[in-house]
Each structure stands twice: as C-alpha cells, then as structure tokens.
Chains A and B, each alone.
Chain A
Amino acid sequence: MNAASEPGIDDGALVAAALAGRSDAFGTLVERYDRAVYHLCIRTMRDGEEARDCTQEAFFKAYRSLRTFKPGARFSTWIFAIAYHVCCDRLGRRKRYSDAELPDRADPAPGPAHVAERNDEARALYEAIDALPEKYRTIITLYHLQGKQYEEIARVLDLPMGTVKTHLFRAKEQLRKALVTS
C-alpha cells in the first residue's frame, strides 16, 4: 500500500500530494468520495444515467481545478459544491427542453441494486425525499451527507446560513407530513 492510499491521511494532504504530481493521491480522494458525490447527484437529478455523468464531470472539473482548492477548506464541501453546480447546469438545460422532446425521467423505477439496499423504512423515506421540491431535496441530501454542519451546507449551496436553516426546517416538516400519510 502506498502512502497516499493510507486511510489516516487527511484530504488536504492528499490534495497537496496530488498537486505535487502524486496521481494516486487523487485516486484515493475519488475512492473516498465517489459514492457520496453520486448519492448527491442521484438525489438531485433523480436519474441514474445523469447522476453518473454528473459525478464523472464533477471529479473531472475538480481534477482540472485542483490548484484552486484553498488549503484548510474541506474537500468534501468543495467536491459537493462542484457536483451541485454541475447538477444545476444540467437541470437548467433539462428545463429548456419541452416534455415532448425529453421524456420525463424524473422518477425512474429503482434498479435491482437500489431495491436490494433499501429496507421498507428507508424506501419510504427515500420516496418522501424524492417527492420534495428540488431545493429541499438537495438540502436534505446534504444534511444526510454532511451531518448538522450548516456552515458547510451553506457553502455548498452558496446560500446564507439562515436560508439553509429555514429550508431545512421546511423540508423536514414536509418529510414528516409525507411519512405520516404514507
């Protein structure tokens, strides 16, 4: 095992190593975050193919602009912000097409992998999250990924902290209502 792939090394050191020419360090960052980034993308896009493309594009952009990563910042926040913006761009493009031109793929049937990993409770919760408006869906997903770190969520979404808290409160309220009725 090389030094860069050791689990103890923090993300900042891996970014520094990648910038110094250690490509395996960026590989370790991909290993650490590809699942979380894909999760954010699939919850935002609600489409497996597009989520895959967004994840790939997010890592590609991150790799190309690694020099702009500020030392001391959190890599997870940075990569989530990139992924979120990639998703927003695609959603914007999607909205420009009429329904006739683009089939509605917003609520695809879950694939076998998804079915296997979800128990009933999780499925009900995921269905409730998927039914939320986009801004609430993303904020709930980031809350799930980042925990109660409102500042990091605000950075990803480029929103004031107060707005994040308000959106989160409303999203949770809608989730609770949806779960009670289901």
Chain B
Amino acid sequence: MIDDDALDRALFALPLATPPGDLRAAILRATIDAPEFAPVMSTRDILLMGVAAAIGVWLLMFMLGDHRNAEAFARNAYSLTQLFGNLQTLSWLAAGTAVAGIVAMFPETLDLRIHRGRRQA
C-alpha cells in the first residue's frame, strides 16, 4: 500500500497538462487585445430617454386610470396650445430669447462693474 507522503510526492511531481499552443493568444485576443467599441449612446442620453419614457408611461396610466384625468389633461393641453399660439405671447417670448442671446453672446454690453469714483462723488 502506498503511504500518504509517497502519494503526496507523486501528486506534486505530476506535470501540468500542456495547453494548446494558441490558447494564450486566443485569451489575449478575447481580453486585452479585443477592440473596444464606443457605446452608441452616452449614459446621459440613456438616462434622459429613461426619464422621458417613465414620464410617458406615467402620463398614459394617469389618463387611462380615469376619464376625468384624460379630460383635464386635454383641457390643460388645449390651454397651453392657446397660450403659445397667441401672437402677443410669442412676441414676448421672442423678445426675451433675443435679449438673453445678446447678453450671452456679448457679455461686455452689460456693464456690471462698480464705479467707485461715481459713488464717492
């Protein structure tokens, strides 16, 4: 009968199996040498789409839940379209946007410095 030490010695002396010659290259090709593909959409885009989808689903369920909800939604949507369809509202919006654009593009037109001399006078 083989004793435990002899068996251990025999086990530890066993040669390891020889892997196929191209195995290492195949592993490296699948890992560190694999081309990295840029994601089609950024995380921010995916997040925005998720939020939009969630709001859409919520709105749909809100309207389907009760016919009064759907009516209220339609009424509010109509009011909003009326508001933004109004020429006067649109004129004010255009004026505000234009001023904001000018200030953003030409910040030097807005002189916000404190004039010490004038205050002393």
| Chain A residues in the interface with B (C-beta under 8 A) | 23-24, 26-27, 30-31, 34-36, 38-39, 42-43, 48, 51-52, 55-56, 59-60, 63, 113-114, 117-118, 121-122, 125-126, 140, 143-144, 147, 172, 175-176, 179-180
Contact = CB atoms under 8 A, between A and B. Distances in A.
B17 A38 contact: yes
Contacts of B7: 172, 175-176, 179
Interface residues of B, number: 24
Interface string B17-52: 111100110111011110000000000000000000
Interface of A is mostly: helix
Nearest to B16: A39
B15 A56 contact: no
A180 B26 CA distance: 41
Nearest to A172: B7
A30 B19 contact: no
A23 B32 CA distance: 6
Interface of B: 1-2, 4, 7, 10-20, 23-24, 26-28, 30-33
Given A63-B31, A121-B10, A144-B14, A52 B20 contact: yes
B56 to A, nearest CB: 34
Contacts of A24: 32
Contacts of B15: 117-118, 122
Contact of A126 (B14, B23, B30, B32): B14
Contacts of B2: 176, 179-180
A27 B30 contact: no
Contacts of A143: 11
Given A30-B31, A38-B17, A60-B31, 5 more contacts: A26-B32, A55-B19, A59-B31, A114-B17, A140-B11
B17, B19, B23: most-surrounded residue (chain A CB, <10 A): B17
A24 B19 CA distance: 21
